[in-house]
Structure 1
Amino acid sequence: MRKNRARKPAALAAAALLAVTGCSTGGGTSAASSGGGDQVPPTASAGELRDHALKSLQGKTAAFVPIGMGTPLMAEWSRQLQRGFEAAGMHYVLRDPNWDTAKQAEAVQSLINEKPAVLVVHNFDVQLLAKLIQQAQQAGIYVVQINMVSNYKSDAFVGADTIDLGRRIATDIVTQCGASTPTSHEVQIVQGDATSGFTLDVMAGAKQVFDQHPEIKIVSTQAANWDRTKAHDITATVIRQHPDLCASWGFWDQMQYGAATAIKEAGKLGQVKVFTSDHSNITCEGVRDGMFFESYGYSVPTQGADIVAIAKYLVQSGQAPGTARIADYTPLVKIDKANWNQPDTCYDGKNDGLTVR
């Protein structure tokens, strides 16, 4: 997701993990992880438990490979990961492929050779890193996927429940543009990358709603590949072809701001309600300024904290990478005129407790 809060304790993610990882789902190696250690017996003293935890983590490396830095979303993930891992005595490594799929695969392959204890990846699409994730686990590396899932499921996934996200926004679009409204019922959809896990699951959730409302006319479904300029140009064409458009829904606030700009240039803000997701300062400023009608945030700072908690559990657990498949879905929060300026509603990748004015 390119160029231009409800918080919950991260410990909840680790607690949920403790409840489910006793059952192996297979797919891993029997070799000991580079980050793992022997399990602590239930009769261990508090001091022994502490020593095990500290020694298991001290000096280990956690690496993050996003799809590309340069946006509040990537900056906030990296900020939370660096803060959490370094506080635990671990080394933090960031490898930025700068939105280049080949460079992302190269970065992951290089890290497999370096053998960090934990690898956090943000998948361009469902297939690109699938084999590399499996290779990493076979090499003894725990892999956590963030917000866009791969066809190959790693030790953990942390992110939005994108199927539910699709259902929620589609339901809100029906409320604004459905049969009971005096509108054209015409809706534009601006996808991210058409083969990303995020796009595929959001569309699956939306389909469950739109299939029950045949009055909704999807007049355009195009992929802007998370790019603001492309979203602008696509939408400028759509609004000329469909001047009575009721809603434009783009899957990421950074990208969808370009669509909103095209709608504003056409003099259609207000008539065309602009829907999106994420909750960076771009969302709050967009709602404040009337560019966005609503967005759904998915607790991005919490995602970073949850990844750290889950990774610390995995490293201490002594279990082999690939022996668990768990998911931690962070809370979805609707953002609109009623709450855009509340503390912790949005983030900017730099500050805690950001309040947009």
Structure 2
Amino acid sequence: MEEKMKKLINIIGSAAIALTLGLSAAKAEGGGFDDGMSTKFYESMKGKKVVFVPISIGMDIAAGFAAGMQRMADQYGFQLQIRDPNWNVDQGVQAITQIISEHPDLVIIQNVDMQAYARVIKQAMEAGVRVLQVNVKATTNSTAHVGIDWYKNAETNALKLVEKCSPKNGGNGKIAALEGTPNNPTNFIGMKAFNDVMAAHPEMTVVSDQAADWDASKAHSVVSTVVRQSPDLCGYFGLWDGQDSGMAAAIREAGLTGKVFVVSQGAGEKAACEKIADGSYDFYVSYNIRELSKHINDAIAVILQRPAGETLEPFAIYLTTQNLTKEALTPSSCWTLDEIKRGY
């Protein structure tokens, strides 16, 4: 009996080895297991040409997008090119016009505003070039858009100021707003949300509403004057952390950190979490670029799987944001470029 068992074990072992070798050979020859969709998925990516036109690759947001796309390109075998206009809209238009003539499988455009690239996006679509817009959407629809609900972000921050500063809740109702540039969609959509909230809460008083052109040093100058003139200010409304760092510095220098409730929003880069942790920002709406980058890659995968020439119904993905406070911070609340490159 013992001898028979040994023979049976040897037979099973040999069969298992043969099966393993057979599967390995099949994987090498056939490219792995196909569940009915996986092979088509991988083949739809290989060799495709994707071109990214950022605002400027020097921006943390654009660099984060590019890092996520490159990681996907390396993994799935499509070619990613970057045509960087470096803040120059005319160069961006020229780049997109040239890209249309090359007829890539997909062009990804980070819009400067809602109008700058609207005409060339329309031209690309008419030429049969698929267009994915990211972060800010132009007035023209395209194949897809992955971005942020700027109204909702600003509305969330404005409502938080009401919660903290309304006389109904024990505050004095005095707040101020710091704008960027009027024609920027983050600004005019965000300020519409702010003004809508204030209109619904007449108990609030906006003592100052000034622009700093997205410049932290200008923001510092504006806010220094405002807090000197209104030392009993209850809250300050910001639209972008890159500018609002100047706001926070002015408030700190005036000895009002923790007394003036500062709300801001941004891409959730590590520096933002540091300012939340040190009390510079009391409430922060994060459109985490690490998460947005993943949604962009999802959209790329969907578009590249569709046959060339097939008409796609335009679709959109809007990011679910995070509301961050000092108490809610975790090690994963913010990101670094290196983490996105590594897929974290």
- TM-score scaled to structure 1, two decimals? 0.79
Report what 2:162 is aligned to.
174
- Which residue, out of 275, 283, 288, partners 2:272? 283
Deviation at 1:353, TM superposition (A): 11
User: 1:59–1:91: 8 Å Cα contact kept in structure 2?
Assistant: yes
Q: 1:108 aligns with which of 70, 77, 96?
A: 96
Deviates more, 1:51-60 or 1:342-351: 51-60
| Matches of 2:125 and 2:136, distance apart in 1 | 18
| Among 35, 41, 49, the residue aligned to 1:53 | 41
Q: Counterpart in 2 of 1:311?
A: 300
Where does residue 334 of structure 1 map in the other structure?
Answer: 323
The one-letter amino acid of 1:199's match is N
Structure 1 unaligned blocks of 5 or more: 1-44
Deviation per residue, 1:308-333 (Å, 9 max, x gap): 22122112212757742222111111
Higher helix share: 2
Higher relative contact order (CA 8 A, sep 6+): 1
When residues 190 and 62 of structure 1 are mapped into structure 2, their CA distance, relative to the original with a 3 A threshold, is farther
Tell me the residue number matched to 2:114: 126
* CA distance in structure 1 between the aligned counterparts of 2:249 and 2:66, rounded to whole angstroms: 29
Which of 49-58 and 297-306 deviates more?
A: 49-58
Determine if contact 1:224/1:231 at 8 Å carries over to the other structure: yes
Aligned equivalent of 2:175 = 187
1:237 and 1:114 mapped to 2: Cα distance?
52
Give the equivalent residue in structure 1 for 2:70: 82
1:151 deviates by: 1.1
1:324 alignment partner, one of 310, 313, 318: 313
Q: CA offsets, 1:232-259, max 9 Å, x none?
A: 2322232233332222222121221111
Query: 1:293 is matched with which residue: 282, 288, 295?
Result: 282
- Give the paired residue count: 309
CA shift, 1:183, in A, is 3.9
Whole-angstrom CA distance in 2 between matches of 1:248 and 1:213: 16
Instruction: State the shift of 1:47 in Å.
Output: 7.1
> Alignment partner for residue 262 of structure 1, among 250, 273, 276?
250
Aligned 8 A contact 2:67 2:341 in 1: no
Q: Tell me the alpha carbon deviations over residues 98-117 of structure 1, each in whole angstroms, 9 at most, x when there is no partner.
A: 22333332332232233222
Change (3 A) 1:117 1:218: farther
User: Which shifted more, 254-263 or 67-76?
Assistant: 67-76
Query: Which of structures 1 and 2 has the bigger CA Rg?
Result: 2
Aligned to 1:139: 127
Rounded to whole Å, the distance in 1 between the matches of 2:103 and 2:218 is 38
The letter for the 2-side match of 1:221 is D
Deviation at 1:85, TM superposition (A): 2.6
* CA distance in structure 2 between the aligned counterparts of 1:230 and 1:263, rounded to whole angstroms: 14
Indicate conservation of the 8 Å contact 2:71/2:341, yes or no: no
Amino acid at match of 1:87: Q
SS at match of 1:350: helix
Q: Secondary structure at the match of 2:51?
A: strand
Structure 1 stretch displaced more, 240-249 or 276-285? 240-249
Distance 1:274 1:322 in 2: 46
For residues 311 and 113 of structure 2, the distance between their equivalents in structure 1, rounded to whole angstroms, comes to: 21
Report the TM-score, using the length of structure 2 for normalisation.
0.81
The equivalent of 2:332 in structure 1 is 344
Paired letter, 1:243:
P
Contact 2:178 2:209 in 1 (8 A): yes
Deviation at 1:181, TM superposition (A): 4.3
SS at match of 1:180: helix
Partner of 1:210: 198
Cα deviation, residue 78, structure 1? 1.6
Residue identity (%): 29
| Distance in 2 of aligned mates of 1:219 and 1:110 | 48
Unaligned runs of 5+ in 2: 1-32
> What is the DSSP-based 3-state SS (H/G/I as helix, E as strand, rest coil) of the residue aligned with 2:316?
strand
SS in structure 1 at match of 2:275: helix
Partner of 1:63 in structure 2? 51
